Homo-oligomer: A and B are copies of this chain.
């Protein structure tokens, strides 16, 4: 055979044996929603034909269901804390064979260099990683990534083969208002495919957002919001993230309108969550348990994300499609017996090289306890305080008189007032934002993390300045991660050496260390929601109400920096 395509056609015609024939299964047609009793002939990783075929190998799928591989329509790999190969090891057995990533955490830390590296690192893995070009770095003018991503950066990313379009346009107020910078991103050649991010946007503002050419949203929380997005011509990406679970609220729309223009995504999933609840297959299972037809649920998880992202050769079992096949014993549990990626069972998944330069992202100026001192007059002056809201990424904007000692405002465990600081960690500027947080329950020590959306500077919460200092120093030594410090000692830590975001370790280690850190935090008194996820969102300056960055406190509702001293 002179070419792979010629060979594929020869197999399709029946003139050559297939590499593999999947035989005896009930094969799902995404086009007719039928279960076809047919063989699937595979050659060179592609489906050659459905019908009766002979092959060098046979996979007996008798009595089982054969469906297309699952595709995550929108996710941030960084939330899994795993390198892409380890992520593949985790989710391939769950049926996920492709994912569309917005690598904006990595891009905040490592710029486009980091994205190009990750693209290359994913290239040869037995899971298709597609990217969207991160559109909103920094997330706001109050955040300090290593550098902003400008229009030219986006252009360079969009030229890459596996970059499909522009990632979620998080500056939705800017888009709606017609800001020139945002419209320039939309106008970029190749950016006719754009993901949306429009929390709480309605009516004419949603019209404006859609009129800009943004045709998806994964921030709908209610069926009413989802319905409005569908009517506006936007794909409804149903998100089931660890911290934002929208599946059950939106499933009624599938029953109301059918599966068209709806797809599944996970957005941000912790590794523990995937290990416990599955990935896209878990969303299918829950949808079916909630009464959605299995055929619809499978469409939402396979062909629909492929259609939204224009991945023309993925998401279906038909001639000319990639042989990404999931064999299911039933249509209830959605736990695959066999997963084929490009016609093969992924056995040995290689570990791509992790170069030195992505492992040395933490650059801080020498730090000491005095850096956390907050001089304060003891005359009744009040301070802005970040109020934690259990299980939410929003915070309250509180005003209280801080406890003082030796001319400084100090943490006071008795009043549940901890100190919080954000230390710039990309350029070693020494810039530190300082403030207070209520609702952590922390009684001793300090917790710190280099995972702190979106700029991923170091966020540290503590009741002891020395422990806070040590926490930051320890993260600098590790090259990033999360850490719990008490009485001058490391109680637990999870190194995240790649950009301070991803672990260069197996899943089991990551989960074990992560749980150890959580346990250590609880021992220090932490009583709020998942401690390090809470820390990670304290610095995200685009979610209400009061946040903190290395530049100081941000009143998100007024969208401006505000002093610690209240009014």
Contact = CB atoms under 8 A, between A and B. Distances in A.
Interface of A: 2-3, 5-6, 8-10, 12-14, 29, 31-34, 36, 46-51, 175-178, 180, 183, 186-187, 192, 203-205, 207-208, 210-213, 215, 227, 230-233, 256-258, 260-261, 310, 312, 316, 318-321
Given A9-B178, A176-B13, A208 B261 contact: no
The binding surface of chain A is classed by DSSP as mixed
Contact of A208 (B49, B183, B257): B49
Contacts of A14: 204
Q: What's the number of copies of this chain in the assembled complex? A: 2
Given A232-B319, A320-B210, A260 B31 contact: yes
A136 to B, nearest CB: 18
A47 B321 CA distance: 35
A183 B231 contact: no
Given A13-B176, A231-B36, A213 B260 contact: no
Contacts of A48: 207-208, 211
Nearest to A307: B307
21 contacts: A3-B180, A3-B183, A5-B212, A6-B183, A9-B177, A31-B230, A31-B231, A31-B261, A32-B227, A47-B211, A49-B207, A50-B232, A51-B203, A51-B207, A211-B319, A215-B312, A215-B320, A232-B318, A233-B320, A260-B260, A310-B310
Contacts of A192: 312
B211 A257 contact: no
Nearest to A318: B233
A133 to B, nearest CB: 18
B205 A13 contact: yes
Given A29-B231, A50-B231, 16 more contacts: A6-B178, A6-B180, A6-B183, A9-B208, A12-B207, A29-B230, A31-B230, A32-B227, A34-B231, A48-B211, A49-B211, A50-B207, A207-B319, A210-B319, A210-B320, A215-B320
Given A31-B261, A204-B13, A233 B316 contact: yes
A9 B231 contact: no
Contacts of A186: 5
Contacts of A231: 29, 31-32, 34, 36, 50, 318
A49 to B, nearest CB: 3
Contacts of A176: 9, 13
A121 B208 CA distance: 34
Give the interface centre of A186, A204, A230, A316 by most chain B CB atoms within 10 Å: A204
Nearest to A7: B178
Give the interface centre of A12, A33, A176 by most chain B CB atoms within 10 Å: A12
Contacts of A215: 312, 320
A177 B2 CA distance: 13
A183 to B, nearest CB: 5
Contacts of A8: 211-212
A192 B312 CA distance: 9
Contacts of A312: 192, 215
Nearest to A27: B231
A33 B257 contact: yes
A311 to B, nearest CB: 11
A10 B212 CA distance: 11
Given A178-B5, A186-B5, A208 B12 contact: yes
Nearest to A253: B32
Contact of A319 (B10, B183, B208): B208
Contacts of A3: 180, 183
Contacts of A10: 178
A232 B208 CA distance: 39
A101 to B, nearest CB: 22
Nearest to A38: B231
Given A9-B176, A31-B260, A260-B260, A46 B230 contact: no
Contacts of A33: 257
Given A5-B178, A5-B183, A212-B320, A32 B207 contact: no
A92 to B, nearest CB: 24
A135 B3 CA distance: 20
A31 B308 CA distance: 13
A192 B203 CA distance: 37
Contacts of A316: 233
Nearest to A211: B319
A318 B32 contact: no
B261 A320 contact: no
A178 to B, nearest CB: 4
B204 A51 contact: yes
A10 B312 CA distance: 35
Nearest to A212: B9
A32 B230 contact: yes
Nearest to A233: B318
A211 B7 CA distance: 11
Given A207-B319, A210-B319, A211-B319, A5 B187 contact: yes
A320 B3 CA distance: 42
A211 B12 contact: yes
Smallest CB-CB A-B distances: 10 pairs? A233-B318, A49-B207, A12-B208, A211-B319, A210-B319, A6-B178, A12-B207, A12-B211, A9-B178, A9-B208
